[in-house]
Each structure stands twice: as structure tokens, then as C-alpha cells.
């Protein structure tokens, strides 16, 4: 049979995975594919482990949503990418009060010790810090940054590594795929700064949300990864989806989408440190795109009726010929 993870592994990757969100857990047709570990050797909770779900009020920890996804991986033997410990978004409002540096440092310490402690041993990787930069390369003025400056990132990685030394610790962001831009330069400078301050960073996650016909070429992707490869021991595409900006789509649009996906897959295959690819859900049925970008979508490898698209078939062929 033709399955993504099986052929990704044969081609040299560690995994091919998908995000899974809580509402889809009760959809049996969806779960049959999501749990097929030859199709997806890795899963990422799309929302369940975020701060708003794990510590919605201070000191009260809840793991129901995160565990529901983590338990799938436990049962199937799929790798779990854990997502995410410190992010400006889906952050409960109590974290955004005006804390001073010491207070914020304690808040972050407590959050990471509890959440990464709860999942200790289950996470192949943690997205420790997510989306610290604006597209112009300036630090986002998040509550964490306002209180601590770049030290919030250093501190988060230190606490994560003390709490779960077995997990690969990632910095994860979007618009850092196509070489080269201000955000990529800022990311590189930040990784150097925090490593110099003693933070253990294992990986850089490139989310990879892009648009059909406008997504980065294989060369642009590989040029970025060459730069990142000098800094960390592994790289991954963590949230790939490639959306059409005009719906409905033609057969030609779907072929273009297949080509765009192939650039990502080929770039990863040809970059020694690129360990795997995760798609940000596998079916249009549960994609975040139409909610965020009305009129756009059909970004995934399976349509909303769970039929495979040309992009799926092309990826399998590329893996088979690699």
C-alpha cells in the first residue's frame, strides 16, 4: 500500500506526520486514517497542549485535551510532537498582566515544569517557544517579552531541558522558510544569543503555511536550511499546508499545489538535518484556513471527503523514487 510515513522512512526521513485536533477525535472515518501509523508516523495536538488549555487560570493545570491526543500516539506508537509551551497566542489573559521580570520568570517556570513534566517521556519534540518575531524581524511585544526581553526564550529552553531532557527542544515559527528575510536573520541572531547564554536548543521548526503558486522554491527552502543547519542539530517542517487563494480550484490549480508540496518534501529529503514533515491536519475538513482566510482553502493533502489529492500521490512518488 502507498502510505506517507512508510515511504517517507524508506526515503530517509524520521517521520511524516499530521496535526490532530480534539473535535476530530470522535470522527471514526477521520481517525482510521489519523491512527494509521504507516500513513502518519507522528502526530501533533493542534490545540490541546497550548497554555489556554493547560493552565487557563494560574496554577490550575488541565490536561484533558492534550492527553486525548497524546493517548492516541501512546496507543498507536506514533511519535508525538508536543506543541507548544510559550506562545503569545492562545495565552490566557491572566498571563498578560503587568508582571515584572521575576514574576514572569516564575510564571514561565511553573508552567513549563508542570506541562512538560506531565508529558515527560512522551514527546519526541517540544515546540518550546513559538512565534517570537514579527515578520519584520522585531521581537513580538508579548507579555513574556515585555517582562523579560529575550531572556524569556533562554529561560524557557533551560527549564524545558531540565524538565524533560529526552525531548528535542525546538524554536518554531512561520515565514522563516524562504531564504532570506529579516525574520530568518532575527531567528538566527536569537538562537546564537540564547545558546551563548546557555540555552539548549535542538531544533528549528519551520511551520510552512503557504499559498499555491507563491510558495518557496526548493532552492529557497534549502538555502534557509543550510543557514539553520549551522546552528542546531535538527530541522523540521512542522505545520505544512498550501492553500488555494481562489476557490473552486481547477485541475491545473491542484497540479500546481502538488508541485508546491514537492518543493517542500524534496528540500527536506536533500537536507541532512531535516528529520521530518508534519502537515497542519491532513484533510480540508478540519483545516484552520477557511476560518482565518475566508474564501481560501483546500490546503491539505486529502479533501473534505477524505479523498487523496494529486499532491498526495506526487509525494508518494517522490518518496518512492528517492
**Interface contacts to ligand G3I, rule CB under 6 A:** 21, 46-47, 89-90, 130, 207, 239, 288
Gap between the Cα atoms of 262 and 258, Å rounded = 6
Active-site residue, 230 included? no
Task: Name the residue among 20, 2, 10 with its Cα closest to residue 79.
Answer: 20
Instruction: Tell the smallest beta-carbon distance from residue 131 to ligand G3I (Å).
Output: 7
234 and 202 Cβ atoms separated by less than 8 Å: yes
CB of 208 to ligand G3I, least distance (A): 10
d(CA 240, CA 18): 9
Asked if 113 and 164 touch (Cβ cutoff 8 Å), the reply is no
What's the rounded Cα separation, in Å, for the pair 312 and 225?
Answer: 24
Task: Please say whether the beta carbons of 299 and 286 come within 8 A.
Answer: no
Q: Which is nearer to ligand G3I, 48 or 269 (CB)?
A: 48
Residue with cell 502518519: 40
Nearer to ligand G3I, 207 or 257 (CB): 207
What DSSP letter does each residue of 2-19 carry, written as one string?
A: --HHHHHHHTT-SEEEEE
- Secondary structure of residue 220 in the 3-state scheme: helix
Catalytic residue chosen out of the listed positions 131, 177, 234, 298:
131
Per the residue annotation, which of 39, 55, 239, 298 is the catalytic one?
239
CB of 130 to ligand G3I, least distance (A): 6
Closer residue to ligand G3I in complex, CB, 47/257:
47
Shortest distance (Å) from residue 289 CB to ligand G3I: 8
State which residue, 90 or 97, has the beta carbon closest to ligand G3I: 90
Known catalytic membership, residue 239: yes
Output DSSP code: residue 111. Answer: H
Which positions are catalytic? 131, 239
Amino acid at each position: 500500500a502507498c502510505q506517507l510515513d512508510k515511504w517517507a522512512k524508506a526515503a530517509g526521513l524520521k517521520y511524516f506526520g499530521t496535526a490532530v485536533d480534539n473535535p476530530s477525535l470522535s470522527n471514526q472515518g477521520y481517525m482510521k486514517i489519523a491512527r494509521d501509523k504507516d500513513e502518519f508516523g507522528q502526530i501533533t495536538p493542534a490545540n490541546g497542549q497550548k497554555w489556554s488549555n493547560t493552565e487557563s487560570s494560574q496554577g490550575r493545570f488541565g490536561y484533558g485535551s492534550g492527553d486525548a491526543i497524546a493517548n492516541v500516539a501512546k496507543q498507536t506508537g506514533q511519535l508525538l510532537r508536543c506543541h507548544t509551551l510559550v506562545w503569545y497566542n492562545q495565552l490566557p489573559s491572566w498571563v498578560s498582566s503587568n508582571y515584572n521580570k521575576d514574576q514572569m520568570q516564575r510564571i514561565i517556570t511553573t508552567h513549563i515544569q508542570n506541562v512538560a513534566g506531565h508529558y515527560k517521556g512522551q514527546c519526541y519534540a517540544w515546540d518550546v517557544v513559538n512565534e517570537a518575531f514579527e515578520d519584520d524581524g522585531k521581537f513580538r511585544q508579548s507579555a513574556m517579552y515585555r517582562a523579560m526581553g529575550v531572556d524569556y526564550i533562554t529561560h524557557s529552553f533551560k527549564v524545558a531541558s531540565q524538565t524533560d531532557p529526552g525531548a528535542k527542544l525546538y524554536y518554531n515559527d512561520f515565514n522563516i522558510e524562504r531564504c532570506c528575510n529579516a525574520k530568518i536573520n532575527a531567528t538566527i541572531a536569537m538562537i546564537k544569543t540564547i545558546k551563548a547564554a546557555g540555552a539548549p536548543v535542538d531544533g528549528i521548526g519551520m511551520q510552512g503555511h503557504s499559498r499555491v503558486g507563491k510558495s518557496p522554491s526548493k532552492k529557497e527552502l534549502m538555502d534557509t536550511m543550510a543557514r539553520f543547519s549551522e546552528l542546531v542539530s535538527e530541522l523540521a517542517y512542522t505545520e505544512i499546508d498550501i492553500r488555494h487563494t481562489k476557490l473552486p480550484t481547477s485541475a491545473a490549480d491542484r497540479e500546481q499545489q502538488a508541485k508546491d508540496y514537492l518543493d517542500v518534501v524534496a528540500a527536506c529529503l536533500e537536507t541532512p538535518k531535516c528529520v521530518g514533515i508534519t502537515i497542519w491536519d491532513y484533510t480540508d475538513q478540519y483545516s484552520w484556513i477557511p476560518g482565518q482566510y475566508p474564501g481560501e482553502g483546500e490546503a491539505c493533502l486529502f479533501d473534505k471527503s477524505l479523498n487523496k489529492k494529486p499532491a498526495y500521490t506526487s509525494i508518494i512518488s517522490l518518496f518512492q523514487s528517492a
